Structure 1
Amino acid sequence: MSTLLKNALIIDAESPYHNQKKDILIIDGVIEKIADSIETKENYNIIELENLHVSCGWFDSSVSFGEPGFEERETIENGLQVAAKSGFTGVAVNGNTNPVVDSKSDIEYLKNKANFSATKLYPIGALTQKSEGKELAELYDMQQSGAVAFGDYNLPVENDNLLKIALLYAQNFDGLVLSFPKNNSIAGEGIANEGINSTKLGLKGIPALAEHIQIARDLFLLEYTGGKLHIPTISTAKSVELIKEAKKKGLQVTCSVTAHHLALTDDELHGFDSNFKTNPPLRTTEDTKALIKAVKNRVIDIITSDHNPIDIENKKVEFSEAKDGVIGLESLFGAVNSVLNLDDYITCITTKPKQIFGIENYSIKEGKKADITLFNPDTTYTFTSKNILSTSKNSPFINKNLKGIVYGVIANNQIILK
C-alpha cells in the first residue's frame, strides 16, 4: 500500500523536518520519502486535508475499556477504533475489568484481542491480587507477557509496607509502579472537591489534603526504596510542588494530569450533572492554573484522557449515587489544545509518556515505521453527543467549545480516518 500525504506540517522536535510543510510518502507502513513535493502516481492513495498537521502517534497512558466483564460500557474492539479516530496509535489499558487483570493469562488475553488493530494496546497489570490491596500480583510474569506498568486503577495502596515491597521488587526487572494519589481516611465519603462549591451545593467534600498526604507518603517511600514511581492524575497545586521538590532530589518520579483537570473546575458542579463526577474530583481555578503551568514547566510529564466509560444505569442517576469517571479520548485534543500551546501538548502525549512506559517512539523520518497522527489544530467547534464515538456517553465536554480536530492515524500499516 502506497500513501501520499500532501502539504503536511510536521510537528516533531526529533525530526529534521520539524515545523516544515512537506509531502510524505508511505509505502507498506514505512516512510519512504519526505520532500517539498512528491510526484503523484496512479497507485498512490492521496491524503490531502485542510490545514493538515502530523506528529508522532499519540499515546494515552490511562484508558479503561469494559472488556472483559463490562462489555456494555466499551469493548476492546470499539475502544481501539475510538482511540484511532481520536488520534491515538497506542493506549495503556487499565486492569479494572471483571476479572481484574492480575495474571499472565489476563495480559495475554488483552494483547491477543488487539492483535490486528491500528492502535496498539499496552496492558497495565494490577499491582495487587484482584486489586484488593492485600498481596502483590504476579508482576514479573505479567511484564514478561507484555505489561508496561502495575497499578490498581483509581484505588490507593493503603498498606505502606506493601508499596515499599512493590517498589523494591519491581527494581529487579525495571518495572514501573503506579500509586493513585488518594488517602481514603481523609477523603471519607466525599464526592466533590472540598471548598466553596461543595459547601454551597451540600455535597460531601474531598479535601485536597487527601491527595497531598498520599503523595508525600509515596515520595518518602520512593526515597527510601529507589525504583520508578508514576503518580497518575494529580489535581492540585500543592501536588505539583511536592513532585517538583522530589524531582529536584533526583527521585525517579513522574506524574500525569487529565484533560478535564486542565480545562474544567468544580464550578461545573452547579447543575449536579454526574458527567462531572470524577476521581480525583474537579478542583479550583487556582489548581487548574497551577496544573497548566506545571505542564509548561515539565513538572507534569503526561497528559491523559483517563478515559473511563460508565454505562447509563450507573451514570445517569443522582449525583451522590453515580460512579466516578468520564470518557475523554474523543475530546482530549480539543480540550487541551484550548489551554496549552501545541508543542507542549505534543511533548506530553508522545515522547514523554512513551519514554516513561518504555514504548518506542517513531520519529517522522525517512526509513522509519509510519506511526503518525493527523490533525488540524486551528478549527474551533462545539463538542456535542454527535462527536462521541464511545459506547458510553459520559463526557464532561458536551456543549463545550473546543479547539482542534483529529483526522485520524496511520499506524500498523493501516489508515484510520473519521
Structure 2
Amino acid sequence: MNALIKSATVVDSKSDFHNETVDILIEKGRIAKISKRISNPNNYREIKLDNLHVSQGWFDSSVSFGEPGFEERETIENGLKTASKSGFTSVALNANSYPVIDSYADITFVKSKASNHATTLLPIGALTKESKGIDLAELYDMSNAGAVAFYDYQKPIGNPNLAKIALQYASNFDGLICSFPQETKITGAGVVNEHINSTKLGLKGNPNLAEELQVARDLFLLEYTEGKLHIPTISTAKSVELIREAKAKKLDVSCSVAIHNLIFTDDVLSDFETNYKVLPPLRTKQDCEALIEGLKDGTIDMVTTDHNPIDIEDKKVEFDFAKYGTIGLESAFGALQTLFTTKKVIALLTQGKSRFGIEENPINVGEIVDLTLFNPNTSYTFSNSSITSKSKNSAFIGQNLKGLVYGIISNNKIVIK
C-alpha cells in the first residue's frame, strides 16, 4: 500500500514531528519519508483533506458487536467498518455473543471473521464458562489463540475465591483479568443511579456503594495475589479514590471509564429515554468531575466507548425492561473534544494500548503505518445520519460535538469516509 499524505499536522508526542505540519510518504505499509513538502513522481494516491491532523491509531478497550448470535444488533464486518470510520485502528471485542466466546475455537472464529480489515479486532475471552460465573474458562488456551484479556462482560465475579484463583492462575502467563465493578446483592433491581432523580422518577436505584464495595474487594484480592487486574468502566468518585490509593501501593491495576459517564449525569433521565439506560448507570455531576480529574492525573488509564449495539425491540420498551447499552464509536472523538484539548483527547484514545499488549507505532520514518486522520475544529450536531452501526441506540443523538474523523490508514488499507 502506497500513498502520500499532504499537509498534515502531526499530533503524537512520541514523534519527531509532533505539532509540525508535514507531508508523509507511505510505501509498502511503512512511513518512507516525512518532510515539509514531498513530490509524487510515482503517482501514489494523494490524501488532501481540510485542516488534516494525524495521530497514532486509536484503541477502544471495550466494544460489543453481537456476532455470533446477535447479528441483528451488529455484525463483525459492519462493526469493524464503523470502528474504521470512527478513527479506531484496533478494538477489543467483548465475549457477550451467543455462544459466549469462551474457548480456543471461539477466539479463532472471531479472529478469522475479522481478518482483512483496516481495524484490528482483539478478542477478549470470557473469564468463566458461558460467562455464568461458576467455573473458569480455558484462559491459557484462549491466550494462545490470541485473547488479550478475560472478562464476563458487565457480569461481576460474585465468588471472591474464583476471582482470587483467576488472578493467581493468569499470572503464570501474564494474563489480564477484568472484573466488572458491581456487587449485585447491593444493586438488587436498581436500574438508575440511586439519588434524588431515581426517587423523583420512581425508578429503583443502583447506589454508588454497589460499585465501590466490589472495587475495594477486588483491590484487596489483587494485593493478596499480586496478579494483573483491569477494572472496566468505573463511574463513581470513591472508585477513583480507591484506585488512586491502590496505584500508590504499586498494585498492577488499570481501569477505564465510559465516555458517556463523563458527559451525562442522571439529570438526563427525566424523559425516560432508554438510550440513557447504561451500566454502570449515569451518576451525578460530582462523580463526573471526579472521573475527569482521574483522567487528568492518570488514575484512570483510558477511556472507552463501551460500544454496545442494542436492537430497537429491546430499547423501545418501558425503561425497567429495556436492555442496558449505548453505541459510542461514532461519537467518541467529538464528545471527548467537548471536555479536553485535542492533545489530551489523542492521549486518552491511544494510551490504553500497552495494557492490552498492542504495539505502538509512532509517526516516524521506518515505522509501520497505523494512523488516524481527523479535523479537530469542526462542530456539528450528532444525529442518526452520523451513525454507521446497524443499531441506532446512541445516547449522543442531538448533542453538539466537536471534531470530525476522516478515517484511518492501517493494516495496509486506507479507509476515508
Bin for the TM-score computed over the shorter chain: over 0.9
Q: Distance in 2 between matches of 1:2 and 1:141?
A: 37
- TM-score of the superposed pair, with normalisation by structure 2: 0.99
Residue 361 of structure 1: aligned partner: 360
Q: In structure 2, what is the equivalent of residue 149 of structure 1?
A: 149
CA–CA distance in 2 between the matches of 1:36 and 1:324? 49
Q: Which amino acid aligns with 1:28?
A: K
Deviations 1:99-158 (A, max 9, x none): 000000000001000110000000000000000000000000000000000010000000
Q: Between the two proteins, what is the percent identity of the paired residues? A: 61
1:168 match:
168
Q: Secondary structure at the match of 2:61?
A: strand
Is the 8 Å Cα contact of residues 139 and 170 (structure 1) preserved in structure 2? yes
| Equivalence for 1:72 | 72
**2:120 matched to which residue of 1?**
120
Task: State the partner residue of 1:324.
Answer: 324
For residues 343 and 254 of structure 1, the distance between their equivalents in structure 2, rounded to whole angstroms, comes to: 21
User: In 2, distance between residues paired with 1:8 and 1:117?
Assistant: 24
Residue matched to 2:159 = 159
Q: Distance in 2 between matches of 1:262 and 1:48?
A: 33
- Structure 1 residue 31: Cα displacement: 0.7
What residue number does 1:306 align with?
306
Local SS of the residue matching 1:353: coil
Please name the residue that 1:399 is paired with.
Answer: 398
Tell me the TM-score normalised to structure 1 length. Answer: 0.99
Partner-residue secondary structure (3-state), 1:100 = coil
Structure 2 regions of 5+ residues with no counterpart?
Answer: none
Q: CA deviation at 1:44?
A: 1.6
Does the aligned pair in 2 maintain the 1:124–1:149 contact within 8 Å?
Answer: yes
1:382 aligned residue: 381
Moved more, 333-342 or 156-165: 333-342
State the Cα distance separating 1:42 from its structure 2 match. Answer: 5.3
* 3-state secondary structure, aligned to 1:335: helix
Aligned residues of 1:63 and 1:306 also touching (Cα < 8 A): yes
CA distance in 2, matches of 1:253, 1:168: 14
The residue identity in structure 2 corresponding to 1:133 is G
**1:3 matched to 2:9:** no
Q: Offset of 1:346 from its aligned partner?
A: 1.6
Q: Does the CA-based 8 Å contact 1:362-1:371 persist in structure 2? A: yes
Deviations 1:228-282 (A, max 9, x none): 1000000011110000000000000000001101111111100100000000000
What is the count of residue pairs matched by the alignment?
417
2:262 is aligned to: 262
Cα-Cα RMSD: 0.7
Q: Which amino acid aligns with 1:185?
A: K
CA distance in 2, matches of 1:6, 1:267: 45
Distance 2:110 2:154 in 1: 20
The question of 1:40 aligning with 2:47 is answered: no
Amino acid at match of 2:90: G
Deviations 1:162-204 (A, max 9, x none): 0000000000000000000000000000000000111111110
Letter in 2 for 1:100: V
Q: Which amino acid aligns with 2:221?
A: L
Q: For 1:42 and 1:247, locate their aligned partners in 2 and report how far apart those are by CA, in whole Å.
A: 52
> Secondary structure of 2:319's match?
coil
1:2 touches 1:43 (CA, 8 Å); kept in 2?
no
Q: Distance in 1 between matches of 2:60 and 2:122?
A: 10
State how far apart, in whole Å, the 2-side matches of 1:397 and 1:178 are: 27
Equivalent residue runs for 1:219-230 within 5 Å: 219-230=219-230
CA contact (8 A) 1:292 1:340 kept: no
Instruction: List aligned pairs for 1:2-151, cutoff 5 A.
Output: 2-41=2-41, 43-151=43-151
- The 3-state SS of whatever aligns with 2:283 is coil
Q: Distance in 1 between matches of 2:322 and 2:71?
A: 19
- 382-391 vs 339-348, greater mean Cα deviation: 339-348
**Residues 331 and 397 of structure 1 are in contact (CA less than 8 Å); yes or no, is this contact kept in structure 2?**
yes
- For 2:40 and 2:120, the matched residues in 1 are separated by 30
In structure 2, how many angstroms separate the alpha carbons of the residues matched to 1:320 and 1:344? 37
Any gaps of 5 or more consecutive residues in structure 1? none
Aligned to 2:62, the other structure's residue is in SS state: strand
Indicate if the aligned counterparts of 1:235 and 1:283 stay in contact, CA closer than 8 A: yes
SS of aligned partner of 1:230: strand
For 2:342 and 2:140, the matched residues in 1 are separated by: 37
Deviating beyond 2 angstroms after TM superposition, the runs of 4 or more aligned structure 1 residues are none
SS at 1:269 equivalent: helix
| Cα distance, 1:41 vs structure 2 | 2.9
Q: For residues 413 and 65 of structure 1, what CA distance do their matches in structure 2 show?
A: 23
CA distance in 1, matches of 2:5, 2:63: 29
